[in-house]
């Protein structure tokens, strides 16, 4: 985190970050316990390791949930977290080994992620424990494929080691001997590779970032301690980024590469490095699966749905046709707040290996950080399922009763007036997009005008394609209601859709002989009632409903007399009433300037931050004025 953000969260005492985080972990999970005054986390019930292998692992803090998050039956017996990005000292690990030995395990496995400090400090503890005649062995592994040349210290330990930790824990729980577990891990380790990419670097608590990236740059092959990677690239679409990662991981010219042929069966792990949103993380998962083995599946769906250009067939033909039998995603081994991901691939090999490794990956564990993918009932392996066909079913209609209702239809003049009113509304809302966005930016997310403009554009498309039946106002309002819900989206789309859904009912349930002017008035009022029912907004609220309520006020107080007048009203009288409604709507919108919002997103914003009318109410005033001007013309 940045210096400022870290201090906001943990105060000035940055040295205790790791300790307090571990205290939080055990507070949430009382089946875990801190051991003595150390940072070591152990299982509450250590009797379960009697006669079995105990598995411990650790390293610097700042990689949460590693390592303490993997303590649980079927995975780690204990974790040894050090200070942030620093190896735990021998004096922390050795007492833990001695403590575990009191429960008479058949052996103790110390699993070390390959970093120099960890090898030295864990190695010292293991050697000291061996002098005490404790059956303990250390296994060290690195799975990083970023560095292309041979390294004297070996590959760095990355998130791919989580596959091995899970296998070790499952084998230990099954009663496998220490020597057999280590032999299996050594063989499986040769079939695992990891590559990472960073969008934003991390920083130690209270310190500046460990390296810098430009706004259009990403780092390929970074480490998990904030160290820079092996290559810097310009920001590209996610498909290109994932392609570059897999290409580097499997490049035969890379001495640390993972040999990955076509038609292999693999397990996949996508590790969130800490600051990547889950939305982005899942998009990466989609792209990795598509690139490795199911590009055609995803491409065909995208092409048929969005009519993409045929040049995108390149995306479908670059995949390797691998079978991703298991896939895991989430925070496994983070790097504080670093924005980025790691991709780890575990080649499952032939049937003999697969029949051993898959059950160990699938075996249950109590470790809180290990993910549990929801597999299909029809297959024990992961696959990307087809979409389920939507089945709405038939709706029974009382046809005998339905024949008594003849739909309300407009004559030729009415259709023209209706059409012109809609065109006037569309033009007015399009012209007001930037004004409404500006009003919304002062107390919202600045997209009110754009949102409403999408609805206006959707209505225009409906008119052009003649999907809006203007002769039948009930059906027309119903269609426009659906357009608002689908094209506008969000709260505004739902509000307008509810308003129009309420309005259309008046026409759909009315007899063809009903008075049109009265029906329009009743439809308007019914739409407002529908808004009130579902939005919770009342008169005096700073919302679009304020404008609705003000603009209907002249009709509500004397609804029946107005109906009687309108039935015999001359065009001039009708025009004056529309003008009265438009003026009232504009006054209602202006009145929202001094109101405290009690509904919508603006309800969370202090009143002093408002510097104009509510954008939703302003939009209503705009389209009511557009209707008035259109009919008056």
pLDDT per position as a tens digit, 83-97: 999 999 999 999 999
- Higher pLDDT: 499 or 145? It is 145
Domain boundary among 90, 125, 141: 141
Domain boundary among 141, 172, 207: 141
* Count of domains observed in the chain: 2
pLDDT given at position 108: 98
For 444-452, what is the mean pLDDT?
Answer: 83
Mean confidence (pLDDT) of the chain? 83
466 phi/psi in degrees, rounded to 5 = 60, 35
| Residue 625 CA: distances (Å) to CA of 46, 570, 631 | 75, 20, 10
For 465-485, what is the mean pLDDT?
Answer: 95
- Higher pLDDT: 624 or 159? It is 159
Among 525, 529, 526, 495, which Cα is nearest to 617's?
Answer: 495
pLDDT given at position 271: 98
Q: Which residues are catalytic?
A: 225
pLDDT at 42 over 60: yes
pLDDT given at position 555: 28
pLDDT at 9 over 50: yes
Domain boundary among 107, 141, 175: 141
Residue 22 placed within a domain: yes
- Mean pLDDT lowest for which of 97-101, 296-300, 364-368? 296-300
Three-state DSSP class for 461? helix
Q: Any idea what the CATH number is for the domain that residue 115 is in?
A: 3.40.50.10440
- Mean pLDDT lowest for which of 176-180, 204-208, 312-316, 369-373? 312-316
Kindly state the DSSP code that residue 294 receives in the 8-state scheme. I
pLDDT given at position 586: 82
Residue 199 placed within a domain: no
- Provide the angle, in degrees to the nearest 10, between the axes of the packed helices 490-508 and 516-535: 140
Neighbours of 464 (CB within 10 A): 9
200 phi/psi in degrees, rounded to 5 = -140, 135
Residue 272 placed within a domain: no
pLDDT at 159 over 50: yes
Residues in CB range of 474: below 8 A, 6 or more apart: 407, 408, 504, 505, 506, 507, 508, 510
Residue 49 placed within a domain: yes
Model confidence, pTM: 0.74
Residue 481 placed within a domain: yes
pLDDT at 402 over 60: no
Q: Of 84-98, 199-213, 288-302, 389-403, give the range with the top mean pLDDT.
A: 84-98
Residue 137 placed within a domain: yes
pLDDT given at position 370: 98
pLDDT at 353 over 70: yes
Q: Any idea what the CATH number is for the domain that residue 592 is in?
A: 1.25.40.340
Residue 42 placed within a domain: yes
pLDDT given at position 544: 47
Residue 256 placed within a domain: no
Q: Is the sign of the CA dihedral 303, 309, 310, 312 positive or negative?
A: negative
Task: Please report which confidence band the pLDDT of residue 415 belongs to, taking 50, 70 and 90 as the band edges.
Answer: very high
- Higher pLDDT: 521 or 231? It is 231
Range of the domain at 573: 399-632
- CB contact at 8 A, 104 and 50: yes
pLDDT at 610 over 80: no
């Amino acid at each position: 985190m940045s210096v400022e953000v870290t201090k906001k969260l943990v105060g000035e005492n940055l040295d205790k970050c790791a300790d307090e985080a571990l205290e939080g972990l055990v507070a949430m999970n009382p089946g875990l316990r801190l051991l003595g005054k150390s940072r070591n986390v152990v299982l509450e019930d250590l009797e379960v390791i009697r006669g079995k292998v105990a598995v411990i692992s650790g390293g610097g803090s700042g990689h949460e949930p590693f390592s303490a998050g993997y303590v649980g039956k079927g995975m780690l017996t204990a974790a040894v977290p050090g200070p942030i990005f620093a190896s735990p000292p021998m004096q922390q690990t050795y007492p833990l080994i001695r403590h575990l030995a009191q429960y008479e395990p058949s052996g103790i496995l110390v699993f070390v992620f390959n970093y120099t400090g960890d090898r030295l400090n864990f190695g010292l503890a293991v050697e000291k424990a061996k002098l005490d005649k404790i059956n303990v062995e250390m296994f060290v592994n690195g799975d990083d494929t970023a560095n292309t040349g041979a390294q004297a210290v070996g590959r760095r330990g990355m998130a791919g080691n989580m596959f091995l930790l899970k296998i070790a824990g499952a084998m230990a729980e099954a009663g496998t001997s220490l020597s057999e577990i280590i032999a299996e891990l050594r063989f499986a380790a040769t079939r695992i590779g990891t590559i990472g990419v960073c969008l934003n670097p991390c920083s130690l608590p209270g310190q500046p970032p460990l390296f810098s990236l430009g706004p259009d740059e990403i780092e390929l092959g970074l480490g998990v301690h904030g160290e820079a990677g092996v290559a810097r690239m310009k920001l590209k679409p996610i498909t290109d980024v994932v392609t570059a990662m897999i290409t580097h991981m499997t490049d035969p010219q890379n001495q640390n590469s993972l040999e990955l042929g076509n038609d292999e069966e693999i397990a996949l792990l996508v590790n969130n490095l800490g600051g990547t949103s889950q939305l982005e993380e899942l998009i990466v998962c989609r792209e990795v699966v598509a690139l490795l083995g199911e590009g055609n599946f995803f491409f065909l769906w995208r092409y048929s749905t969005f009519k993409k250009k045929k040049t995108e067939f390149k995306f479908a033909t670059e995949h390797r046709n691998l079978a991703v039998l298991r896939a895991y995603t989430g925070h496994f081994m983070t790097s504080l707040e670093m924005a980025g991901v790691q991709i780890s691939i575990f080649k499952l090999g032939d049937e003999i290996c697969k029949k051993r490794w898959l059950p160990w990956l699938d075996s249950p564990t109590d470790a809180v950080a290990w993910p549990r993918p929801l597999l299909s009932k029809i297959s024990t392996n992961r696959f990307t399922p087809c979409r389920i066909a939507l089945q709405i079913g038939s709706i029974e209609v009382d046809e005998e009763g339905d024949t008594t209702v003849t739909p309300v239809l407009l004559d030729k003049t009415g259709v023209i007036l209706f059409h012109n009113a809609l065109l006037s509304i569309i033009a007015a809302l399009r012209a007001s997009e930037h004004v409404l966005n500006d009003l919304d930016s002062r107390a919202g997310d600045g997209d009110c005008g754009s949102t409403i403009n999408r609805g206006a554009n959707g209505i225009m498309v409906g008119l052009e394609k003649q999907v809006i039946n203007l002769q039948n106002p009930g059906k027309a309002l119903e269609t426009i209601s659906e357009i608002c819900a689908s094209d506008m989206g969000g709260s505004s789309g739902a509000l307008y859709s509810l308003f129009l859904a309420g309005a259309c009912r008046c026409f759909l349930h009315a007899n063809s002989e009903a008075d049109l002017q009265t029906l329009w008035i009743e439809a308007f009022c019914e739409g407002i009632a529908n808004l009130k029912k579902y939005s919770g907004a009342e008169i005096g609220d700073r919302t679009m409903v304020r404008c609705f309520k003000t603009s209907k006020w002249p009709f509500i107080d004397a609804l029946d007399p107005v109906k009687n007048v309108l039935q015999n009203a001359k065009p001039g009288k009708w025009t004056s009433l529309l003008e009265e409604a438009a003026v009232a709507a504009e006054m209602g919108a202006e009145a929202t300037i001094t109101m405290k919002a009690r509904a919508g997103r603006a309800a969370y914003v202090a009143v002093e931050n408002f510097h104009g009318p509510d954008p939703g109410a302003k939009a209503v005033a705009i389209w009511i004025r557009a209707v008035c001007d259109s009919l008056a013309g």
